[in-house]
Amino acid sequence: MAHVKVAVSSEDVGKVSWLKKLGPGLITGAADDDPSGIATYSQAGAQFGLSMLWTVWLTYPLMVGIQVISAKIGRVSGHGLATNMRQHYPAKLLYSIVGLLLVANTINIAADVAAMADALKLMVGGGPTHWYAVGFGVVSLLLQIFIPYSRYVRVLKWLTLSLLAYVATAFVIHIPWTQVVINTMLPHLSWQPAYITTVVAVFGTTISPYLFFWQASQEVEEQHANPQAKALKKAPEQAEANFRRIKLDTYIGMGFSNLVAFFIILTTAVTLNMHGITEIQTSAQAASALRPIAGDFAFWLFSAGIIGTGMLAIPVLAGSAAYALAGAFNWRNSLELKPNKAKGFYSIIVISTLIGVGLCFTPIDPIKALYWSAVINGVISVPIMAVMMLMATRADIMGQFVISRRLKVLGWVCTVVMAIAVIAMFWSFGQ
């Protein structure tokens, strides 16, 4: 996608096709279905069958609410989340959140490149998967470092189409649609510790902290990409058009994300679970298990989707960590800048990606850490969302554009639901 032109009037916005309006929200939503997320959704479907479909139905409005708030904070203030935290909140809070985000993102990068390497080996064979992982890491770094944001974001946008593989997979296998609707609308809940932990893992991998930082920062990037655009609290005449774009972008992006998650759970539920396969550790293992049950076409679609989503997710994971750390230490940060103009920012992208790739060469199994990484994301998202909600209601940050009562309610409901899920998980551990 060429950079989204930030319109200054509703008439100008009408001249821009709806597809060109999609950017930060679409990419953020698609990046949420990365190989690590695919593994979590696959495990949910394999272990608990159709009884996990309700989780995606619930996460959609919550995800929309919190991501719209993230986008508005970035577009209205002209700063990412970490910069706003540094300017308005205690340093200890900022550094602890950014530190946990950096660790979680690096683990996710490791898991994603490992999953992509495994998927490629399943498809084409060849030597050790470690070197496939190196290849994916290097390609991702070169794209991020040497292609300006306004051009690179076009690549990311096309990569979102790879997620359609998971929707297509469901249509090459038999689906009991009546049972699917019943389980989605009337969920069967369980207080088993494994069930509750999986719910938290699904919530944690769907409503992930790195997505908050990424979408807010991408709104700032979009602003910088257009010389006519300004932070909305300084240019209120641009607000209506931008808020309309943010709403459309986020509703479609998060809808796409949750639709894909739904179909991954559905596909693994009606194939793996119904054939007694209830333990899935990796997305590549899910693809491999599909082959004898659903056939070669389903296997190829599932595997290709792993690689496409990984190429989309790695720059989002590394980039969100870089935005967060750069904002915390007041470094220049933008994918539009050349590396020598933002050395600290690009250093974090390089270091986190290389460490992620390097973990694939150590005895540490990033895949085994992945499930719990999703759970950790669910836990740390609660304080981050609470701070975001406080930001979004502060006039010194948002000017006249503090969030509406409806959005405030939705944001706090999302925060409370995540908190309840985490508390329930810890309670289940003692049972």
Cβ atoms within 10 Å, residue 429: 9
- Return the H-helix or E-strand segment holding 243: helix 239-271
pLDDT reported for residue 166: 74
Nearest to residue 157, comparing CAs of 309, 258, 23? 23
Q: Cα(388)–Cα(369) distance, rounded to whole angstroms?
A: 28
CB 392 within 8 A of CB 408: yes
Q: What 3 state SS string does 104-166 have?
A: HHHHHHHHHHHHHHHHHHHHHCCCCHHHHHHHHHHHHHHHHHHCCHHHHHHHHHHHHHHHHHH
Q: What is the pTM of this model?
A: 0.85
pLDDT reported for residue 428: 67
pLDDT reported for residue 187: 79
Question: Which residues of the chain have a pLDDT value below 70?
Answer: 1-23, 149-150, 162, 282, 364-376, 378, 425, 428-431
pLDDT reported for residue 350: 94
Task: Give me the domains of the chain, ranges plus CATH numbers.
Answer: 23-429 (1.20.1740.10)
pLDDT reported for residue 232: 93
Residue type, 380: I
**Residue 123, token pair as written in the block:** 């498809």
Residue for token pair 């986008």: 71
Q: Cα(386)–Cα(408) distance, rounded to whole angstroms?
A: 11
| Residues in Cβ contact with 332 at an 8 Å cutoff, skipping those fewer than 6 apart | 326, 341, 342, 344, 345
Tell me: the pLDDT tens digits for 146-193? 887 667 777 777 777 767 777 887 777 788 889 899 988 887 788 888
